[in-house]
Structure 1
Amino acid sequence: MKNTILFIYNWVENKADQFIECATKTTVDCIKNALNLSGFEVIPLNLYNIAQLRDSIKQINPTLAFVIAEGFLDNPETLFDGSGSTLIREILAEMNVPYTHSTPSGMINCRNKDITYKILRETNVPVPDSFVLPNATLFKNYINDIEETIAYPMFVKPTGGGNSIGIDNSSIVYNRHELQAKVNGLTALIGDSSIIIETFLSGREYTVGVMGNFTTTVLPVIAFPKDYQVRSYKIKKTESKDKNNIEVFFYNDPLYQKVCPIALNTFSALKVNDVIRIDIKEDSLGNPMVIDVNGSPSLAPGGSLAFMAQNMDISHGELINMLLWESMQRFKINPTPELLRVKEGINLRIKHYSENFVA
C-alpha cells in the first residue's frame, strides 16, 4: 500500500499503574486527525505484541511509521522499563520501514536514565550526582556506598520509563528508613528494575523541547511554579488542564539563553533525532541540571510540547506534521503537496527561533 502512514500507539481503558505510559483516546484521535492533513492514508495500530506489528507491516507496507507507542500491551514491562520504544524501532528498521523519533540507540540513550546521565556527564552537560541500584534485593549490599556518594535528601526514581511513573512526594527521602521504603515501593510497582538515586535539587523545574535534524530548533522554555518540589503524574494531569501557573520564556529572555545551550548540547550528546523534551531543574544555588530526557515526549494536545508550540502560534495539528516532516526529511521521503502546504504555513513562525539557535 503506497502513501500510507502506520500510526502506532498504546491505548487502554484504564491508564493506572503499569499502563500509565499509554495515550488517551483523545490524544490518539487528535494525532490521527492531524496526520490526515498530510495527504497520507493513516492506518491506526494499537500495539499489543511483536507478531501483530510484523503482520501489520507485511500487510500494509507503510511509507512511514508514526510511533508514539512505548512498548507492547501484552508485555506491560516494556512500557516502562525503557525497552519497548527501542524494540519497536529495531523491528521497523529490520523490516525497512522508516519511523519517527530517534533510532534504537538514541532511544536507549534517552529511555535509561543511568545511560543518559553517563553520556551527559562525559560531555560536560550538568546532571546531578547519582548512584544506580541495579536490583532492589541488593539494597543492603549498596546502602553504605549510596550514602557515601549521595547526601540526604536524595531523590529516588526508576532508571527507565517516563510520565513520572513511580515519582511522587515520597521520592524525596531524608534518611535510610525512607530510602528503603521508597525502594520497596518502586519494586512493588515495577518489579526488579534498576533504580537511580540522585541528589535532590531544590530549585525550580523547567522543560524544553528540541526539534529537527539538519537544523535544530529550541522551543520556548516552560517554567513550573517555584513551590513544586515533585512533578508527579497527578500534578502533570492538573497542568494539562490549567496552565495559568506556568511561565513561558522566549528566545530573547536570559533564562532561555541559559537553558538553550544545555538543550542543544543534550540533543547532540545523546545522538537523537526529530524531537526530544528535556526536563531541567536548578539546585539550591540556581545552577540548572538535566534530570530527564524523553525521546518520545507526550504529543497530547494538553502536553508540554504542544503548549510550547502554541506559544509560537503553532497548532497541535501543525506540531504533529512538523514532526512528520522532520522524519520524512531524515529518510529522504518526498513530502506530499498537502504536507508541503502545512509546513510552509508555519515556517515564518519558527524562523526567528531557528535563526537565533541553530546547532
Structure 2
Amino acid sequence: MKVALTCNILPSDYSRESGDDTFAEFDAPSTIEAIKRALLNFCDSVTVVEADEDAYETLRRGGFDFAFNIAEGVRGEAREAQIPAMLEMLGIPYSGSGVTTLAITLDKRRTKEVLAANGIRTPRFQLLSRESDLSEDLKFPLFLKPNGEGSSRGITAKSLVVSREELQGVVSEMVSRYRQPVLAEEYLTGREFTVGLLGNSPEVLPIVEVSFDGLPEGAPRFDCYEVKWIYDSLDAGYDTTVCPAEVDDDLRSRIEDTAKRTFEALEIRDLCRLDLRLDEDAEPSVFDVNALPGLIPDPEENSRFPKAAYASGRSYDQLIAEIFASALERQGMGF
C-alpha cells in the first residue's frame, strides 16, 4: 500500500511561543516524522504531501492507494476541507472526517447550530461583524473568538469581555486581523473538559480536565492561545491538564454521552476532540469541536488527544495504527 501523508508543516523558523499565531495550526516536522514512522509498520511507503497549491498535482500523479490526512489547508473559510475534496475528486480514500463535516466544524457558528438542532447543549451565541450587532438577549460576560480558526488562533486573554465597551474593541481588532466575523457566546464558569473519541461507534478516551489553578497570578483562567502555547509549553513548564479527570461516575457518563451524540450529529469519522464546560445546571455544554485534533507525539507537550490516548494505555504508534485501521475498515479495506 502506498500512502500519502497530507499535512501542513510548520516553517523551520516559526515558534508558537513567540505569540505569533500565523501558523499555529500547522504541524512540526517531528510530528510528521512520528506519524510516518508509525504508518510504515503497516504499509509499503509513506510520502509526505504538503497541503499547498501544488497538492492536487502531487496527489494526481502519485499513484496513492490511501491518504492519512491531517492537513489544515492554506486559506479560506473551509480550508480544512480542501484536501479531502481533492482526494474525493481523485478517488483516493482517506482517514478522518469528510468534506462537509470538516467545513462545518471549522465554522463555529454552524457547528453550534447543528448541536442545538440535535438537542446538544451549547452556550448561547451570536455572530458579530461589529459591536452594534450584539443582541440584548446575550448576557455578559461574553467570550469572543474568530468564527473560523483552530488551535486557539485569535483567542487571547482579551477574549473574555464584561461590557459593550470591551466588546467593541476586541470585535474590531479580531475582524480587522482575521477578516471574518466573531463568535460571541455566553461564558460558562463551570469546570472545563476536553474529550477525545477514537474509531467509529467511537470509544471515548479518558477525559481530560483543563485546570488553571497552577498558573501564575495574572494568567488567564480560561483556555486561550497564551495558556495553550505559552504557559503550557516545554519552556514554561506549566501543565494545565489533568488526565484522567477526577469526575464521579454520573458526570463521566453524562460527558461521554454528550461526546458521542456530538460525534454522531456532526457525522465525524475516525477521531475527534471536543471541548465542553459545565453550565449553570452542571450539565456538559459543548463549545468547540475539532475533527482534526493535534497529534503531537511528545507527552511533555501535553497535546490533549494523544494525552488521553496515553492515559488509556496506548502508545503513540498504537494510536496512529488505530486511526489508520478505523479508516481502512470504514472503507472496506484492511492492512
**Alignment TM-score > 0.5, same fold:** yes
Correspondence 1:20 to 2:8: no
Q: In structure 2, what is the equivalent of residue 220 of structure 1?
A: 206
Q: CA RMSD in A?
A: 1.9
Distance 1:18 1:201 in 2: 28
AA at the equivalent of 1:172: L
Per-residue CA deviations over 1:330-351 (Å, capped at 9, x if unaligned) read 111221xxxxxxxxxxxxxxxx
Per-residue CA deviations over 1:162-181 (Å, capped at 9, x if unaligned) read 10011112100111111011
More helix per residue: 1 or 2? Answer: 1
Q: In structure 2, what is the equivalent of residue 281 of structure 1?
A: 277
Tell me: CA distance 1:229–1:282, structure 2 relative to 1, closer, same or farther (3 Å): farther
Give 1:329 deviation, angstroms: 1.0
Give 1:156 deviation, angstroms: 0.5
Tell me: CA distance 1:110–1:332, structure 2 relative to 1, closer, same or farther (3 Å): same
Correspondence 1:152 to 2:140: yes
Q: In structure 1, what is the equivalent of residue 41 of structure 2?
A: 37
Give 1:243 deviation, angstroms: 4.1
Per-residue CA deviations over 1:272-331 (Å, capped at 9, x if unaligned) read 111110101123453321010001010111411111110111011111111111111111
Correspondence 1:189 to 2:189: no
Distance 1:71 1:300 in 2: 18
Give 1:251 deviation, angstroms: 9.8
The answer (yes or no) to whether the contact 2:325–2:334 under 8 Å persists in 1 is no
Q: Percent identity?
A: 27
Matches within 5 A, 1:94-105: 94-105=89-100
The answer (yes or no) to whether the contact 1:209–1:278 under 8 Å persists in 2 is yes
The answer (yes or no) to whether the contact 1:250–1:256 under 8 Å persists in 2 is no
Q: In structure 2, what is the equivalent of residue 357 of structure 1?
A: none
Give 1:46 deviation, angstroms: 2.1
The answer (yes or no) to whether the contact 1:205–1:226 under 8 Å persists in 2 is no
Give 1:212 deviation, angstroms: 1.5
Q: In structure 1, what is the equivalent of residue 102 of structure 2?
A: 107
Q: In structure 2, what is the equivalent of residue 63 of structure 1?
A: 65
Count of matched residue pairs: 315
AA at the equivalent of 1:221: I
Distance 1:244 1:267 in 2: 25
Which residue among 145, 166, 173 is the counterpart of 2:154?
166
Which residue among 228, 236, 245 is the counterpart of 2:228?
236
Matches within 5 A, 1:1-359: 3-11=1-9, 12-13=11-12, 14=14, 16-49=20-53, 52-72=54-74, 77-78=75-76, 81=77, 83-133=78-128, 135-136=129-130, 139-140=131-132, 142-143=133-134, 145=135, 148-191=136-179, 193-213=180-200, 215-225=201-211, 227=213, 229-237=221-229, 238-239=231-232, 241=234, 243=239, 246-249=242-245, 253-301=249-297, 302=301, 303-335=303-335
Distance 1:245 1:110 in 2: 23
Distance 1:267 1:245 in 2: 22
Distance 1:56 1:258 in 2: 45
Distance 1:260 1:182 in 2: 34
The answer (yes or no) to whether the contact 1:220–1:250 under 8 Å persists in 2 is no
Give 1:158 deviation, angstroms: 1.3
TM-score (norm 1): 0.83
Give 1:244 deviation, angstroms: 7.5
Distance 2:248 2:285 in 1: 21
AA at the equivalent of 1:169: A
Distance 2:293 2:44 in 1: 23
Distance 1:121 1:56 in 2: 40
TM-score (norm 2): 0.88
Tell me: CA distance 1:36–1:281, structure 2 relative to 1, closer, same or farther (3 Å): same
Distance 2:286 2:100 in 1: 20
Distance 2:114 2:21 in 1: 29
SS in 2 for 1:45: strand
Tell me: CA distance 1:118–1:5, structure 2 relative to 1, closer, same or farther (3 Å): same
Give 1:253 deviation, angstroms: 3.4
AA at the equivalent of 1:19: F
SS in 1 for 2:144: strand
Give 1:233 deviation, angstroms: 2.4
Per-residue CA deviations over 1:24-76 (Å, capped at 9, x if unaligned) read 12211211111122233100122221xx112111221211111111002xxxx
Tell me: CA distance 1:314–1:250, structure 2 relative to 1, closer, same or farther (3 Å): farther
Distance 2:289 2:328 in 1: 23
AA at the equivalent of 2:322: M
Distance 1:33 1:115 in 2: 36
Instruction: List gaps (5 residues or longer) in structure 1.
Output: 336-359
Instruction: List gaps (5 residues or longer) in structure 2.
Output: 214-219
AA at the equivalent of 2:296: A
Tell me: CA distance 1:247–1:179, structure 2 relative to 1, closer, same or farther (3 Å): same
